[in-house]
């Protein structure tokens, strides 16, 4: 919507013939009124949950500076994105122009950088039994930490790693912690955020105990946090859909890891039911979660002032899902 406004506004100031400029002005007025309604609705929604910062994992196609604008078009107050093409190991460095534009665009859409949760590439596996492959992942993660530093971001979310049936889960977690220590030693001002996983395949980090074990091996634990993914949590075997289950899950989290480590939420419905250990996200209200969970999350003060990011599979529904959550 923002792009359309700027596009038609530009046409009204161009050297087009008078008739075409009048048409452009009409379209500008239409889009401006629609945008005003959107902003009014979103602002009204925020007043109900002023301390919740919800967004989605948006595309950075065309450059990282585009990500904040795409989040702004959704009425988001937070967002996630990939710092570089997540299917490739190498990427061009950011230019100064890109960095300045990213920061300016965040300010333009009113999203504070502490509510931005960049996601590391899925290529990495710092729990790999192969030392050379671990080193490659470590070097790539260090590069992403430096990119966070350049953009003024304080968090880097990642999936812990996989043992690939070549080593034990414990050895895999020890490798993960060792590589995290190395990554943290070569960066500053950015937290590594461990995401809980569904337990699919040979991935580790699907129990709170596993995440706590990794954190216990970190030399500077103040630079490590946790992101809880709701779909992964259900699939891993934690019942979070009922009031009793929700309370029990968070009590276990606090007892084993601690609320002080909670940095972010990935808010997803699930295509798979409790304990299936299969990672399949679904749009809000269309999977096995029901609706009570999302109301409980929105009313939970422990989740205030941290990024809450949708990774649901239909981007066309993100604005609607964000508005729905704020209205709960």
Query: Over 80: is that where the pLDDT of 267 sits?
Result: yes
Residue 18: its pLDDT value, please?
72
Instruction: Tell me what pLDDT residue 16 has.
Output: 74
At residue 23, the pLDDT reads: 79
Q: How far is CA 285 from CA 60, 127, 149, 200, 271, in A?
A: 27, 34, 36, 23, 11
Q: Is 195 a catalytic residue?
A: yes
Residue 57 to residue 229: CA distance in whole angstroms: 13
Active-site residue, from 70, 134, 138, 232: 232
pLDDT band at 117 (very low <50, low <70, confident <90, very high): very high
Q: 102 near 83, Cβ under 8 Å?
A: no
The verdict on whether 238 is a catalytic residue reads no
Give me the pLDDT at residue 164, please: 98
Of 94, 241, 281, 326, the catalytic one is 281
Residue of 254, 300, 311, 320 marked catalytic: 311
Residue 189's nearest CA partner among 160, 153, 165 is: 153
pLDDT at res. 40: 55
| Overall CATH class of domain 51-327 | alpha beta
Residue 163 annotated in active site: no
What is the model's pLDDT at position 28?
64
For the chain, give the percent of residues with pLDDT over 70.
Answer: 90
Give the pLDDT band of residue 25 (cuts 50, 70, 90): confident
- Is residue 115 annotated as part of the catalytic site, yes or no? no
* CB atoms inside a 10 Å sphere around CB 112: 13
Q: How many CA atoms lie within 13 A of 321 on its CB side?
A: 25
Q: Is 53 a catalytic residue?
A: no
Catalytic: which of 87, 96, 244, 316?
A: 87
The catalytically annotated residue of 122, 166, 209, 302 is: 122
| pLDDT one-digit tens code per residue, 51-109 | 999 999 999 999 999 999 999 999 999 999 999 998 899 999 999 999 999 999 999 99
Among the listed residues 65, 66, 169, 229, the single catalytic one is 229
Residue range 259-282: average pLDDT?
Answer: 98
Give the pLDDT confidence of 146-166 residue by residue, as tens digits: 999 999 999 999 999 999 999
Mean pLDDT, all residues of the chain: 93
pLDDT at residue 183 is higher than 70: yes
Active-site residue (options: 66, 144, 279, 321): 279
Residue 32 has pLDDT above 70, yes or no: no
What's the burial of 275, exposed, middle or buried (CB within 10 Å: 0-12/13-18/19+)?
middle
260 in active site: no
Is residue 122 part of the annotated active site? The answer reads yes
Q: Please give the share of the chain, as a percent, with pLDDT higher than 90.
A: 84
Report how far residue 245's alpha carbon sits from residue 237's, in angstroms, rounded to the nearest whole number: 11
Is 49 one of the catalytic residues? no
Known catalytic residue: 229? yes
Residue 326's pLDDT is: 95
The residue extents of the domains of the chain are 1-48, 51-327
């Amino acid at each position: 919507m923002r792009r359309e406004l700027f596009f038609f506004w530009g046409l009204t100031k161009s050297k087009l013939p008078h008739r075409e400029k009048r048409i452009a002005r009409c379209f500008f007025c239409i889009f401006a009124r629609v945008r005003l309604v959107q902003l009014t609705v979103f602002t009204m929604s925020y007043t109900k949950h002023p301390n919740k910062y919800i967004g989605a994992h948006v595309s950075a196609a065309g450059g990282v500076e585009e990500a904040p604008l795409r989040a702004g078009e959704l009425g988001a107050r937070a967002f996630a994105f990939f710092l570089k093409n997540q299917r490739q190991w190498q990427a061009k460095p950011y230019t100064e122009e890109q960095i300045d534009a990213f920061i300016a665009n965040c300010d333009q859409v009113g999203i504070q950088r502490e509510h931005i949760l960049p996601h590391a590439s899925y290529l990495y596996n710092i729990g790999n039994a192969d030392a050379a492959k671990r080193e490659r992942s470590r070097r790539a993660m260090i590069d992403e930490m430096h990119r966070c530093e350049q953009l003024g971001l304080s968090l880097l979310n990642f999936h812990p790693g996989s043992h690939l049936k070549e080593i034990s889960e414990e050895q895999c977690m020890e490798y993960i912690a060792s590589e995290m220590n190395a990554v943290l030693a070569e960066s500053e001002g950015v937290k590594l955020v461990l995401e809980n996983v569904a337990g699919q395949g040979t991935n580790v980090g699907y129990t709170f105990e596993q995440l706590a074990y990794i954190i216990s091996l970190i030399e500077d634990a103040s630079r490590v946090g946790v992101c809880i993914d709701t779909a992964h949590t259900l699939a891993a075997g934690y019942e979070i859909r009922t009031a009793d289950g929700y309370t029990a899950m968070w009590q276990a989290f606090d007892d084993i890891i601690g609320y002080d480590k909670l940095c972010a939420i990935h808010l997803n419905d699930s295509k798979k039911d409790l304990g299936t250990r299969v990672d399949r996200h679904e749009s809000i209200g269309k999977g096995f979660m029901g609706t009570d969970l999302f109301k409980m999350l929105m009313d939970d003060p422990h989740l205030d002032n941290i990024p809450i990011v949708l990774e649901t599979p239909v981007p066309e529904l993100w604005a609607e899902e964000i508005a729905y959550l704020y209205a709960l």
